[in-house]
Amino acid sequence: MPFVNQAQRKACYAQQRQANEKGIVAKWDCHEFGLDLKKSPRRKSTRRKSTKRVQPTPKKVGTKNGEIVFQGVKGGKYLVRKNKKVYF
């Protein structure tokens, strides 16, 4: 009987350890069952891989008071001051 998951494997080894401590010979072999776990098919992950969106490079339009003016995605113009966009 193969293990379905890691919890079953841990429970088997725990029961085998308790049987050995009491001096009882276990009727099962966890190592043999563990080999069957590797052969069992794995389920595909249902988690979707996230794709990282790439930010478009800002388009430089000109300068205003010595600062570079950029054009945003929707056409708005902005400056970058203290790591914040200031639209005008």
What pLDDT score does 45 carry? 64
Judged by DSSP in three states, 59 sits in: strand
Angle (CA) 5 8 13, round 5° = 130
What distance in Å separates the CA atoms of residue 83 and residue 7, rounded to the nearest whole number? 49
pTM of the model as a whole: 0.38
- Of the pLDDT bands very low, low, confident and very high (cuts 50, 70, 90), residue 38 is low
Predicted confidence (pLDDT) at residue 10 exceeds the cutoff of 60:
yes
Predicted confidence (pLDDT) at residue 70 exceeds the cutoff of 90:
yes
> Which is nearest to 69 in space by CA: 45, 53, 85?
85
Angle (CA) 19 25 27, round 5° = 95
What distance in Å separates the CA atoms of residue 48 and residue 18, rounded to the nearest whole number? 41
Predicted confidence (pLDDT) at residue 40 exceeds the cutoff of 80:
no
Domain ranges of the chain: 6-39, 57-88
Predicted confidence (pLDDT) at residue 28 exceeds the cutoff of 90:
no
